[in-house]
Structure 1
């Protein structure tokens, strides 16, 4: 998966209806803005109370997650996860009820699931991220004497490939499950509506020509397959619409 063709894969995912053009969990806008964020013990970990931009990740975690996202969706022939600010999307998701697994059944028994059963670990996403990021840092420092974000892109790709192919394992959490989850979340954050923190300035929508969440498309029904030139619109509208 770590090849120059991965951007084509992302396009295929989106147009094939597999990629998610809306986040897997809603984020309450007040979270991370100094109003507090409710959480339940053992449903993840306490959020990191930092800046408006940082709701859950510590600065070190945010740096690592941003570096992972940058390799999963690189800035090569178009905008990548960095330009789309995917790390902010992930940060907000982990700080919210998605990160806590609040709407999931999270009681035992916990058995090894099949490939078709989806997420099966006893750790809510936020807790999985936190444990996995610690384990990833330990692995990288023991192997390369540097944290993941400090490695060359080639070495970063090698580590991610090792997680994907289960050549690298963690003690407390399944490394492959973490890789699959952060890959899924990164794609979500890249294509999601900007109100959730990712897809900053609708860069992903501009890149693929997606017109966004418009009221309707009745004026363009009879276009006979011709390309429709429309500026993308977020759920919150376009910047010009909100100007005083």
Structure 2
């Protein structure tokens, strides 16, 4: 983790980082959730607008620790991680519900504006060809068949900079 943590501790962040990478793994030419900084998004969110979920994350991380036994989830080998996640995804108990919350936050962190943490280097937007935050689109850009990857990528920060309100 190369960012300061606001809610999670280092061990919790490492476990979440391994979990989000299993949820949205990288491949050649496309960074996964870990590289895109999804844990930074989750941590910032839990310290801010998702603070009501702090007890859920603490209990969920404890449940993961108990389920993984003597080895922390982040220390499991790739096959064991995949099997663990497949079991969690189908589980109706608390650990399964927690996993589904983390999966939703992983998607948010991967595809949201980088201003909120996550989507580092616009990884999620590049993956799907989304041009990011735009004030609007020209008539040419709105035509069917236009490749949106040709529209310059802009973030909220870029838009504020254009109006002189850079944050």
2:152 corresponds in structure 1 to 231
CA distance 1:57–1:223, change in 2 (3 Å): same
> Of residues 37, 40, 57 in structure 2, which corresponds to 1:85?
37
Q: 2:111 aligns with which of 186, 191, 214?
A: 191
CA deviations over 1:83-102 (Å, ceiling 9, x no partner): 210000000111113222xx
Q: d(CA) in 2 for partners of 1:162 and 1:146?
A: 17
CA displacement 1:192-214 (0-9 Å, x = unmatched): 00000010121111121110111
* Structure 1 residue ranges without an equivalent (≥5): 1-50, 101-124
Larger helix proportion of the pair: 2
Q: What is the aligned partner in structure 2 of residue 177 from structure 1?
A: 97
1:224–1:160 distance in 2 versus 1, CA, 3 Å: closer
Match of 1:55 in 2: 6
Q: Which runs of 5+ in 2 are unaligned?
A: none
Deviations 1:17-54 (A, max 9, x none): xxxxxxxxxxxxxxxxxxxxxxxxxxxxxxxxxx9620
**What RMSD in Å do the two structures reach over aligned CA positions?**
2.3
- Structure 2 residue corresponding to 1:138, chosen from 66, 77, 81: 66
| TM-score, length basis structure 2 | 0.86
- For the residues of structure 1 that align with 2:3 and 2:131, how far apart are their CA atoms? 29
